[in-house]
Chain A
């Protein structure tokens, strides 16, 4: 406690003494301070250690003067040894130093003049203290002195008085001695005695005032005494009027009061501020005035700004017009008067226009009548040129041109004018293009080119939908061709169409209403029944169609029957072999069969293969008419499936082919295949038989078996039987089992490795010959000492590090202390400021806040920012609202929680956050 303070004091003392020195120089008269002598420093100082030494040697030297003792008394800390040895002037006598002044022990005078320095705290404490003490001392001393003086003067007065009395009375002074001694009493008694008659106060008595009670005593006993006394007491209380304070003090008091008052005023804000700070969100975008809400409001505020607007406004706002509108229309007519000159002028203008139009018309007619082709060509050329020139210059014209082109293209697409469809082109084509001369050919080519040019856009647009339309057109073509090919087929065609329709109807029936009255269960049942009946009918109809088809085709010969059979059963191979347009037939078949284009293509691709097979199939058909019937009954799709199956599975096909080529009969083929199957079965049978054999062999434990496994087993068993076998103990077995691997050693090795990795061993000092020293000397000396030392230090460090590890004392545990740098990014180094515990911090990060992880109702609240404001909306300063009132309102601002009830402490804390 003492040391630094002492130093400071020392410093203060030093400074003070400097000031003193200055004063001394200016005025010879010196006011000695309580410790002025000691503090007056001139000349070099000894270091404090030396001073201490000296003081220790002769302690009396420090106390060689009264003054110093006094100072020592004053300075409780005992700074006695802080005295300067070089200071000789302090030894001067006190009286001498204070020649013209009174003895002032503590230097009050000095302090009275020296104002304490406000700005340096170091000074302040000490000086204040000393000031107080000084003042106190001084005050006491002063008052004592005054008392003494007062006594003196009194004595003097008494002396004079006695002398006067002696002079007057001639009596010795002793006679008056006693009187003087009892003077006070006498006087008082006299006063009291006198007071009855005389109210003049005696100066020598009491405080020299007549008290209120004194006066009151005279009135005692009278009627209004009590009233007067009461009044007197009241007056007494208010009677003491202090002397007015100095102005500065007065102002200070005023300011303090004012500050207290305004403090109280602004403290009212505290709960509001607290609430705002604690709110999770503050909204500033509420209660915004967005200006006009309706068109009418906007229009009513409209003021014309530009010239045009003003003109319009002048007309619209014209009073006459307004009135005219308000009344009937007659006034409007009057206002609308037109002068004769205007009307004439207008007529003239119109006549002129008409005239011009007529002239133009005549001219156009004339030009049209001109028959010269060259003239028209030239005219056209000119027109085109002008057009192109205009296009380049005028964007409007360009747009027009583009529109025209578009129109042309559209027309071309609609009319197909240039697709060799006019008579001329048809004629030329029918004659053959090769026979024509070059000019015609060029013309045809030109036409085609033009067509392509005009329809180019269309083609590019139609890419996606081309395939389907192609298909249909193809089908149509095919149908046409079919019609052309065989007239006899027409009836069958009709039948097929009819059949097709029935099929469609059948298919359509599958659709079941999913809603409404028809979806009710009983309705459904009824519907199903009806459907079944319809299906039955349809099937019957189909059969009929088929039969009639057959009947139709049978008489026309074997070939036709084949065709019919094909069309009926959707087997197409037979017809193809005979007719040249077999492929077409196939296509038509497909058309009937639901136009599955893929199948069709496949069929075309495989047509040859099918052709090969067709004979056989036909044979099959012929040999098995019953099956035909059945097939016709079945659904078409199933027929196709059969077909596909036949095409697809190549295995049996080959066999068929082989068989058919060998014998031309299905039965044979079938038999053969059956035989094959039998063979296969027999082959398969051999497997199990063998296994059985094996089993039997195993059971019998015959060594003769070729199975190696059995042999092995036998071998072991036989060896066991040879020696006297002793069952090994558990331990032995385990030892045998883990003969090669030593787990503990491995673990230790692993641990050592990890330790070495995490705390690497220091490198061994290596002797580099010739480095730093001569080789021979080096060899003699060995390694230099510093190297060894370094190595030792590193080793020790490592050992210490190993000891500090968590797994140092755990034999069977490895605790890795490697820091994962990637994971380090995800952790804070220390607990962040507002959080008080790790758990709370972790908790704050636990729940995700994203819209993917939270429903939309909560995601918004989770992500809401602290301050919600809109750009462009002026935020006004806060307005005072009574917090109590606000609580009453309830949910005025739902985002703000914790209403009212603000404590001072909390706010303070908040403010620092």
Chain B
């Protein structure tokens, strides 16, 4: 007689260390697990709820300025450093981790309008309404010596006074050039006291400028004549101009997709454009109820943050029509500038109430060291939420946000207005000959024309 014996080697069950997990053997046959879908749905629901519970996006405020913050710049080479300039001419370097001022850069007589840092993080460029461009040496971070009270102040390397007030500055990625805008667009070099190149197209003042980080010769500006202009530094002339119905306050190139940029518009929407096809926006990002003041792309290129005059900060997907997240506090006033941190995990906003605020980019993200098992669990929850996001219950929980009353009211009012307009259009269409009235798609509606 043959006797069958279940044999299992001890190696499969013994742990190497006492801290190891016991191995569990499972039969993955789907026929014996009929409830898996239900189980995962419930888990997705719970994950969504947990996200709500753990959503604590606000980390802290950094105060020290005595006037509204007008501009910020992140140090591309140093994660913790962020520069902020205020309307009274004060520039400060902050240490994000300790949320304290590391260094001050006094010198500007009027408001500081633009800040930019070179790619190596050594030189800070500032400009303002006092018609001066100043170059500063960024102090080398001495992590251990932060006694707390030591607020150094730095002297500028060079000061260039020019003909007109400046509205913005941006630094080229990986080079020595930087661009200032005001009455015209000037390209400067670190080592020259005069601009090496100047562009002028139209007579209105230019209010914002951004270099394309992927394609360093490409440059986009927005002007107060409601236009967005592209420049190519290899050519001696501007390239293309597009005029919209409202002014574009700021714009930002997608760092992972050098074709695309997004413009923060005065009408409360953001418009993503392909630089090659300016006659139509690729995507319209709606949600703000007031003018969008500033925009900055995440280094991952998958989302961007906007600050608005309606006192909120929102985070959008690069291809999403509506915001993923809204941040607001009672004390935060008009937001004038926002930045994504270089590791894409924090958002910094500067507002009218003289404070910089530090937010998590992902409201419910766990800070600190996350062990591999923990991370796997988070990933699993994230995947589940993503999978079941279309089901009504999960969708409701994930989308729900508490809004400040004024914004809620404004949103509903705007919706009512939009609905009414739509209704009217539909009726007009219905009562006129077919084909005679064409509704312009939203993507082209706000574009007046493309100027060659």
Contact with A along B216-244 (1 / 0, CB 8 A): 01100000000000101011111110000
Question: At the interface with chain A, which of B29-37, B63-71, B85-93, B179-187?
Answer: B29-37
A849 lies within 8 A of B343 (CB)? no
Q: Answer yes or no: B452 CB below 8 A from chain A CBs.
A: yes
Q: Answer yes or no: B61 CB below 8 A from chain A CBs.
A: no
Q: Answer yes or no: A862 CB below 8 A from chain B CBs.
A: yes
Given the complex, which residues of B lie within 8 Å of A844, measured CB to CB? 387
A878 lies within 8 A of B214 (CB)? yes
Given A3-B436, A255-B239, A273-B259, are A825 and B392 neighbors across the interface (CB < 8 Å)? Answer: yes
Q: Answer yes or no: B384 CB below 8 A from chain A CBs.
A: yes
A878 lies within 8 A of B257 (CB)? yes
Q: Which of B21-62 contact A (CB under 8 A)?
A: 26, 28, 30, 33, 36-37, 39-41, 43
Q: Which residue of the partner chain B has the closest CB to A844? A: B387
A865 lies within 8 A of B383 (CB)? yes
Given the complex, which residues of A lie within 8 Å of B256, measured CB to CB? 273, 276, 877-878
CA distance A4 to B230 in the complex (A): 38
User: In the assembled complex, how far is the CB of residue B395 from the closest CB belonging to chain A, in whole angstroms?
Assistant: 9
A254 lies within 8 A of B237 (CB)? yes
Given the complex, which residues of A lie within 8 Å of B437, measured CB to CB? 4
Q: Which residue of the partner chain A has the closest CB to B436? A: A4
B343 in complex: contacting residue of A261, A266, A267, A874, CB < 8 Å: A874
Given the complex, which residues of B lie within 8 Å of A807, measured CB to CB? none
Given the complex, which residues of A lie within 8 Å of B153, measured CB to CB? none
Given the complex, which residues of B lie within 8 Å of A5, measured CB to CB? 436
Q: Which of A844-864 contact B (CB under 8 A)?
A: 844-846, 848-855, 859-860, 862-864
A258 lies within 8 A of B235 (CB)? yes
The dominant DSSP class at the B interface is: loop
CA distance A256 to B239 in the complex (A): 7
Given the complex, which residues of A lie within 8 Å of B449, measured CB to CB? 118
B392 lies within 8 A of A853 (CB)? no
Given the complex, which residues of B lie within 8 Å of A254, measured CB to CB? 235-237
B28 in complex: contacting residue of A854, A863, A866, CB < 8 Å: A854
A256 lies within 8 A of B452 (CB)? yes
A828 lies within 8 A of B235 (CB)? no
Q: Answer yes or no: B130 CB below 8 A from chain A CBs.
A: no
Q: Answer yes or no: B255 CB below 8 A from chain A CBs.
A: yes
Contact with B along A523-564 (1 / 0, CB 8 A): 000000000000000000000000000000000000000000
A3 lies within 8 A of B433 (CB)? yes
A263 lies within 8 A of B276 (CB)? yes
A911 lies within 8 A of B283 (CB)? yes
Given the complex, which residues of A lie within 8 Å of B194, measured CB to CB? none
B319 lies within 8 A of A913 (CB)? yes
B214 lies within 8 A of A877 (CB)? yes
Q: Answer yes or no: B258 CB below 8 A from chain A CBs.
A: yes
B376 lies within 8 A of A851 (CB)? yes
User: In the assembled complex, how far is the CB of residue B82 from the closest CB belonging to chain A, in whole angstroms?
Assistant: 13
B302 lies within 8 A of A866 (CB)? yes
Q: Answer yes or no: A270 CB below 8 A from chain B CBs.
A: yes
Given the complex, which residues of B lie within 8 Å of A365, measured CB to CB? none
Given A266-B259, A853-B28, A867-B302, are A845 and B214 neighbors across the interface (CB < 8 Å)? Answer: no
User: In the assembled complex, how far is the CB of residue B223 from the closest CB belonging to chain A, in whole angstroms?
Assistant: 16
Interface residues on A, range: 35 or more
Q: Which of B241-293 contact A (CB under 8 A)?
A: 255-260, 272, 274-276, 282-283
A1 in complex: contacting residue of B145, B376, B433, CB < 8 Å: B433
User: In the assembled complex, how far is the CB of residue B153 from the closest CB belonging to chain A, in whole angstroms?
Assistant: 22
B391 lies within 8 A of A825 (CB)? yes
Given the complex, which residues of A lie within 8 Å of B217, measured CB to CB? 262
Given the complex, which residues of A lie within 8 Å of B388, measured CB to CB? 845
B26 in complex: contacting residue of A273, A832, A852, A870, CB < 8 Å: A852
A267 lies within 8 A of B232 (CB)? no
Q: Which residue of the partner chain B has the closest CB to A873? A: B343
CA distance A258 to B241 in the complex (A): 12
Q: Which of B404-437 contact A (CB under 8 A)?
A: 432-433, 435-437
CA distance A256 to B236 in the complex (A): 12
Q: Answer yes or no: B160 CB below 8 A from chain A CBs.
A: no
A832 lies within 8 A of B390 (CB)? yes
User: In the assembled complex, how far is the CB of residue B189 from the closest CB belonging to chain A, in whole angstroms?
Assistant: 21
Given the complex, which residues of B lie within 8 Å of A580, measured CB to CB? none
Q: Answer yes or no: A252 CB below 8 A from chain B CBs.
A: yes
B36 in complex: contacting residue of A256, A853, A875, CB < 8 Å: A853
Q: Answer yes or no: A912 CB below 8 A from chain B CBs.
A: yes
Given the complex, which residues of B lie within 8 Å of A259, measured CB to CB? 230, 239-240, 452
Given the complex, which residues of A lie within 8 Å of B1, measured CB to CB? none
B383 in complex: contacting residue of A4, A849, A878, CB < 8 Å: A849
Contact with A along B365-381 (1 / 0, CB 8 A): 00100000000100110
Q: Answer yes or no: A826 CB below 8 A from chain B CBs.
A: yes
Q: Answer yes or no: B439 CB below 8 A from chain A CBs.
A: no
Q: Which residue of the partner chain B has the closest CB to A264? A: B276
Q: Answer yes or no: A675 CB below 8 A from chain B CBs.
A: no
Q: Which of A436-458 contact B (CB under 8 A)?
A: none
B40 lies within 8 A of A267 (CB)? no
Q: Answer yes or no: A305 CB below 8 A from chain B CBs.
A: yes
A251 lies within 8 A of B257 (CB)? no
Given A258-B237, A266-B218, A871-B343, are A912 and B213 neighbors across the interface (CB < 8 Å)? Answer: no
Q: Answer yes or no: A829 CB below 8 A from chain B CBs.
A: yes
A270 lies within 8 A of B299 (CB)? no
User: In the assembled complex, how far is the CB of residue B259 from the closest CB belonging to chain A, in whole angstroms?
Assistant: 5
B391 lies within 8 A of A877 (CB)? no
Given A4-B433, A864-B379, A870-B343, are A251 and B237 neighbors across the interface (CB < 8 Å)? Answer: yes
Q: Answer yes or no: B76 CB below 8 A from chain A CBs.
A: yes
Q: Which of A357-396 contact B (CB under 8 A)?
A: none
User: In the assembled complex, how far is the CB of residue B117 from the closest CB belonging to chain A, in whole angstroms?
Assistant: 13
CA distance A862 to B173 in the complex (A): 36
B387 lies within 8 A of A270 (CB)? no
A912 lies within 8 A of B319 (CB)? yes
Counting chain A CB atoms within 10 Å of each CB, the highest count among B26, B41, B217 belongs to B26
Q: Answer yes or no: B77 CB below 8 A from chain A CBs.
A: yes
B275 in complex: contacting residue of A266, A867, A876, A879, CB < 8 Å: A266
Given the complex, which residues of A lie within 8 Å of B151, measured CB to CB? none
CA distance A871 to B390 in the complex (A): 29
User: In the assembled complex, how far is the CB of residue A539 from the closest CB belonging to chain B, in whole angstroms?
Assistant: 30
Q: Answer yes or no: A47 CB below 8 A from chain B CBs.
A: no
Given the complex, which residues of B lie within 8 Å of A875, measured CB to CB? 299-300, 342-344
Q: Answer yes or no: A398 CB below 8 A from chain B CBs.
A: no
Contact with B along A622-657 (1 / 0, CB 8 A): 000000000000000000000000000000000000
Q: Which residue of the partner chain A has the closest CB to B435? A: A1
Q: Answer yes or no: A269 CB below 8 A from chain B CBs.
A: yes
Q: Which residue of the partner chain A has the closest CB to B365? A: A871
Q: Answer yes or no: B353 CB below 8 A from chain A CBs.
A: no
Given A850-B380, A865-B379, are A269 and B392 neighbors across the interface (CB < 8 Å)? Answer: no
A282 lies within 8 A of B300 (CB)? yes
Given A259-B240, A850-B43, are A266 and B28 neighbors across the interface (CB < 8 Å)? Answer: no
Q: Apart from A846-B37, A874-B299, list 15 A-B contacts with CB within 8 A.
A: A3-B436, A4-B433, A119-B448, A254-B236, A255-B237, A258-B232, A262-B230, A263-B275, A269-B259, A841-B390, A845-B388, A849-B387, A850-B380, A874-B79, A877-B173
A positions within 8 Å CB-CB of B: 1-5, 118-119, 251-252, 254-256, 258-259, 261-263, 265-267, 269-270, 273, 276, 282, 284, 305, 824-829, 832, 841, 844-846, 848-855, 859-860, 862-867, 869-880, 908, 911-913
The 20 listed contacts between A and B (C-beta, < 8 Å) are: A254-B237, A258-B235, A258-B237, A259-B230, A262-B239, A266-B218, A270-B259, A845-B388, A846-B37, A848-B33, A849-B40, A849-B384, A850-B43, A850-B384, A853-B33, A866-B302, A874-B343, A878-B255, A878-B256, A911-B283
B positions within 8 Å CB-CB of A: 26, 28, 30, 33, 36-37, 39-41, 43, 76-77, 79, 144-145, 173, 213-215, 217-218, 230, 232, 234-240, 255-260, 272, 274-276, 282-283, 299-302, 319, 342-345, 367, 376, 379-380, 382-384, 387-388, 390-393, 432-433, 435-437, 448-449, 452
Q: Which 4 A-B pairs have the closest CB atoms?
A: A875-B299, A877-B213, A258-B235, A877-B255
